Structure 1
Amino acid sequence: MQLTWLDSNSWLMEIGSKRLLIDPWLVGPLVFGNVPWLFKGEKKTPRPIPENVDLIVLSQGLEDHAHPETLKQLDKNIPVVASPTAAKVAQKFDYSQIITLNHGDTYSFENSVEIRAVPGSLVGPTLVENGYILKDLTNSNSIYYEPHGNHSEEIKKFAPIDVVISPIINLNLPLLGPVIKGNESALQVAKWLQPQVMLPTAAGGDIDFQGLLMSILKAEGSVEETQSLFVKNNLATKVIEPKPGKSLEIQLEQRN
């Protein structure tokens, strides 16, 4: 299993002999709702679009998960697996195959990788987007991905999961609380899923962020604090901090 963090929520996963591109933001700026004065992200180091991508996976319809400029440039013949809102974004760019997954749905990609949609992030008052459990059908290794740290108790029935990709820090807005949940939610999901490895996501990367939101967002937590918390709770999970653009070969122990 090889994983490459491409900044923000974007990952290239090599699993089950397939290359999956997760929530890609690879080109152009990141802006929400065309209001750059509120929030704008720009990559300090351009990330080339990965070659030989077999599948695109989108967890949410927001710009930092279904990035319009990136989706516009990717090969439209690559199949897309998406939440219902992300599928609507992909449809605007005429992808030839879009598989929409509601919570509880599964999709088997070429008998190599199984993708299961589970309840993920609460976006707005009522919309719950997707988290995903990805299973290598050749060796049963598994990954759980949820980019905002919102973990449904439903995932407990799929334990153990080998690798968890989720935030480990909080990003807080005054009065509103955390928009990204790490800290306690990282400990909770580690207790539920007993992963061998946890990789943080959503916490920037090699990016220049600007705008009003950046002046009031407050970050809490660190890799060291999370690892210490796991040790105190007798969890064997190892926290690995990825470097943007650098591939990680994840070595997993065979579970009984």
Structure 2
Amino acid sequence: MLLTYLDSNSWLIEIGGQRILLDPWLVDTLTFANQDWFFKGYRTQDHPIPENIDLILLSQGLEDHAHPPTLKQLDHNIPVVASPNAAKVVQQLGYTQITVLTHGETFTLNTSVEIKAFPGSPIGPTLVENGYLLKELASNLTIYYEPHGYHSPSLKAVAPIDVVITPLVDLTLPIVGSFIRGGKNALELAQWLQPQVMLPTAAGGDVKFTGFLTKFLQTKGNIEEFRSLLAKNNLSTQVIEAKSGDRIELQLQKKGVGV
């Protein structure tokens, strides 16, 4: 199993002989509703578009997960698995193979990788986006991904999970509180799932942010503090902090039974 970190929430997952591009923001700037004055993300250099992608996997329809400039550059014939909200984005861009996953539904990629959708981040009063469990069918190795730190208790039924990609520190705003939830939420998830490895997402990589909103953003906690939390709770989970462009080969202990 190989994971390449492409900044923010973007990952290339190589599992079961498949190359899955997750929540890609690889080119251009990141804004919400084209409001640069409010919030703008940028990098000094775009990431090259990865080759030989077997699947694009989208957890949310917001621009930092379904990034229109990146999706415009990707081959529109690549199959897409998406939350209902993210599916609307790729439908409007003309993608030809779109599978919508609602919570509890599964998709199997080329008889090699099973993808199951779980309840993820709430967006507004009624919409709940997706977290995903990926399982390599040949080995039963599993990865769970949720980019904002909202974890459904239904995950307990599929524990243990080998690899978890989720925020490990909090990002907060006045009045709103933590909108990216790491810390105690990530610790609780580790207690539920007993992962071999956890990797932080959402706040890292070679990106910078400007705009009105950034004046109020605050980070609570850090990776070393989270490692200490794991140790204090007698959890042997390894935390790997990937740098931009890192391609990490995970050495995992294989399980004898499926999830």
The TM-score by the shorter chain falls in which range?
A: over 0.9
Matched with 1:218 is 218
- What amino acid sits opposite 2:99 in the alignment? I
Identical aligned residues as a percent: 61
Q: How far off is 1:205 after superposition?
A: 1.4
1:207 aligns with 2:224: no
Match of 1:48 in 2: 48
| 1:120 partner SS | strand
Superposition deviation, residue 33 in structure 1: 1.1
- CA displacement at 1:45 relative to structure 2: 2.6
TM-score, normalised via structure 1 length:
0.99
| 1:255 to partner: Cα distance | 3.6
Using the size of structure 2 for normalisation, the TM-score is 0.97
* Paired residue secondary structure (1:185): helix
Tell me the matched-pair count: 256
For residues 181 and 226 of structure 1, the distance between their equivalents in structure 2, rounded to whole angstroms, comes to 12
Instruction: After the TM superposition, list the runs of 4 or more consecutive aligned residues in structure 1 that deviate by more than 4 angstroms.
Output: none
The structural deviation recorded for 1:223 is 1.1
The residue number in structure 1 matching 2:105 is 105
Query: Contact (CA 8 Å) 2:141, 2:255: kept in 1 or not?
Result: no
Q: Which runs of 5+ in 2 are unaligned?
A: none
Matched ranges for 1:155-166 at <5 A: 155-166=155-166
Alignment partner of 1:230 is 2:255: no
> Within 1, Cα distance between the matches of 2:35 and 2:45?
23
* Separation in structure 1 between the aligned mates of residue 105 and residue 43 of structure 2, nearest angstrom: 34
Is contact 2:139–2:254 with CA below 8 Å preserved after alignment? no
Offset of residue 213 of structure 1: 1.0
Shift, 1:102, TM fit:
0.2
| Residue of structure 1 in register with 2:61 after alignment | 61
SS of 2:129's equivalent in the other structure is strand
User: Displacement of 1:222 after TM fit?
Assistant: 1.1
| Residues 174-193 of structure 1: pairs in structure 2 closer than 5 A | 174-193=174-193
**How many Å separate the matches in 1 of 2:46 and 2:110?**
31
Distance 2:246 2:204 in 1: 15
Q: What is the alpha-carbon distance in structure 2 between the residues aligned to residue 253 and residue 236 of structure 1?
A: 13
- 1:1-256 → structure 2 map (5 Å cutoff): 1-255=1-255
Offset, 1:101:
0.2
Unpaired runs of at least 5, structure 1: none
Distance in 2, Cα, partners of 1:157 & 1:208: 38
2:72 alignment partner, SS class = helix
RMSD (Å), alpha carbons? 0.8
Please report how far the alpha carbon of residue 204 of structure 1 lies from its aligned counterpart in structure 2 after TM superposition. 3.2
Q: Deviations over 1:49-96 (max 9, x none)?
A: 101110000000000000011111100110000000000000011111
| Partners of 1:109 and 1:175 in 2: CA distance | 42
